[in-house]
Amino acid sequence: MLALWGYLVPSWIFGVILCVLSNALTALGLVTQKLAHLKNEQSSKPRSYFKQPWWLAGMMAFLVGQAANIPAMALTPQTMLSCLGGLSLVFNSTYAHFLLGERVRAPEVLVMLAMITGAALVVSVTPVSHQRYVTAGQIFGYVLHKTFLLTALAVTVGLTMLGIVASVVAPVLKPFFLGLTCAACGSYGMTLFKVGAEVVGKTTHWWLNVELYVLAIFALAVCVIQVHTLNLGLRHGEVVTIIPTFFALGVLFSLFQAEMAFGELNDIGGATNIVIFIAGVVLVIGSTLALLFLQRDEEEEIVKIADAQDEERVPLLHDRRTNSEPTLRRNSWSLSHLSMVPNKSFDSVQEFTLLSVTGPMGVA
């Protein structure tokens, strides 16, 4: 029955389902861990975060979500994965509303609907390869052919030169350089992991391929650079500049990688499909940026209200700088809910860390 089902339903559909599931579980895991930290702050006997049942449940959901992402990479074109990654923000906002009681305004709902529409448009017109029998050599060939390697070299040289200019001539470009480097590393990491997932999922005796282990080393190195440059960007620039830059450029870089490595966009036929594809990408990127800025405005509004309430409660002769009384503010979910580092906020952005989610939204 399963074999018959596999022939009736294309494998990429299973990949899309797994990708959506991965985003849903990853977001659930992160928001649940945020809930654990809030409950721990309210508790009369705070405990280490790893001893909290809610935090453990969140971590389990996060790990299952990441595990679901591996077969999704093997079954689904990277073009689809790139745009489906934006759904993590939709799930995050939804979970934050129901689990954390965060307000979701009408403009945010419209933006999330636009993001879902954009992802659906991209999925509907992305060409899918129907090749069933491949060898490990063919799969590794995606990233070993001359065009891909020369392009990777050109990107590396370009980023290096931009980094030198940003450090020596125009420091104002440094946040943009770091965001661009982070996006490039995210897209290359995604491509390398996809190749590895396809080798594991589509070939026999995959563990005998030395290339797979070399590929894994390069992929992990790229992820380390990605995390490092993101945190440097958060330290040297504004969050509202770095994060949108990373997200938007991450989608574009991933689409570029999908074409360079796998030629996924070669078979998009007809002006109508091209227009639908471009419209879908614009909706995904535009709605991502809009949602981030809406959440930023919401967070600033909440902080202003909280500060005003604090001013009313604090006596005139009380020195607020030495106030050690614990307070619990209602934070907007936005980006802080993607943090796995306990008790961190944008007040110390150099310590802010995002963890991986499907697609270019991911920060490992």
Residue closest to 186 by CA, chosen among 153, 224, 216, 151: 224
Asked if 102 and 277 count as a contact pair (C-beta separation under 8 A), the reply is no
Q: How far apart (Å, rounded) are the C-alpha atoms in residues 353 and 362?
A: 11
The helix (run of H) or strand (run of E) holding residue 206 is none
- Residue 130 or residue 323, greater confidence: 130
Question: Within a domain: residue 4?
Answer: no
Query: In the structure, what pLDDT confidence band is assigned to residue 179 with cuts at 50, 70 and 90?
Result: confident
The torsion angle over the Cα atoms of residues 352, 350, 356 and 298, rounded to 10 degrees, is 50
Higher pLDDT, 358 or 11: 11
Residue 173 lies in a domain: yes
Residue 207 lies in a domain: yes
Three-state secondary-structure class, residue 97: helix
- The DSSP symbol for 85 reads T
Q: Find which of 209-218, 305-314, 319-328 is predicted with most confidence, using mean pLDDT.
A: 209-218
Helix %, strand %, coil % of the chain (to 5) = 75, 0, 20
* Whole-number Å distance between alpha carbons of 283 and 257: 20
Q: Is residue 70 part of a domain?
A: no
Where would I find the H helices in 169-270?
Answer: 174-202, 210-236, 239-262
- What is the count of structural domains for the chain? 1
Q: Residue 170 carries which DSSP code?
A: -
> What percentage of the chain reaches a pLDDT higher than 90?
35
Distance of CA 329 to the CA centre of its chain: 26
339: which DSSP letter?
B
> Is residue 21 a part of any domain in this protein?
no
Please check whether residue 245 lies inside any domain of the structure: yes
> In whole angstroms, what is the distance from residue 264 CA to residue 331 CA?
41
Six-digit token pair at 83? 């745009």
- Cβ proximity of 78 and 262 under 8 Å: yes
- Residue 98 belongs to what domain range? 77-311+328-361
The C-alpha atoms of residue 282 and residue 271 are separated, in whole angstroms, by 16
Q: What tens digit of pLDDT does each residue of 63-111 get?
A: 999 888 888 998 899 999 989 988 888 998 899 889 888 888 899 999 9
Does residue 62 form part of some domain?
no
Q: What is the mean pLDDT of the chain?
A: 79
Residue 303 has a pLDDT of: 65
**Distances, alpha carbon 274 to alpha carbons 46, 115, 134, 257, in Å:** 55, 18, 29, 18
Tens of pLDDT, residue by residue over 27-64, are 899 889 888 888 888 877 777 777 788 889 988 998 99
pLDDT at position 278? 94
Alpha-carbon distances of 350 from 226, 230, 233, 276, 297, rounded to whole Å? 14, 9, 8, 40, 21
| In-domain check, residue 5 | no
Locus of tokens 């390398």: 192
Find where tokens 């990233």 sit.
143
Which residue in 63, 81, 61 sits closest to 360, CA to CA?
A: 81
Q: What global pTM score does this model have? A: 0.77
356 neighbors 340 (Cβ within 8 angstroms) = no
Tokens 């079954």, residue located:
75
- CA distances 179 to 211, 240, 246, 305, Å, are 30, 11, 5, 31
332 pLDDT above the threshold of 80:
no
Beta strands in the chain (DSSP E): none
Q: What is the pLDDT of residues 215-240, one digit of tens each?
A: 999 999 998 898 888 878 777 665 55
Q: Render the burial of 289-327: b for 16+ CB within 10 Å, e for the rest.
A: bbbbebbbebbeebeeeeeeeeeeeeeeeeeeeeeeeee
66-76 pLDDT tens trace:
888 888 998 89
**Please, which pLDDT band fits residue 184 given cuts at 50, 70 and 90?**
very high
Q: Assign residue 205 a region: left if phi > 0, alpha if psi is -120 to 50, beta otherwise?
A: left
Average pLDDT score over residue span 315-320: 47
Quick: pLDDT tens for 257-287: 898 999 888 888 788 999 999 999 999 999 9
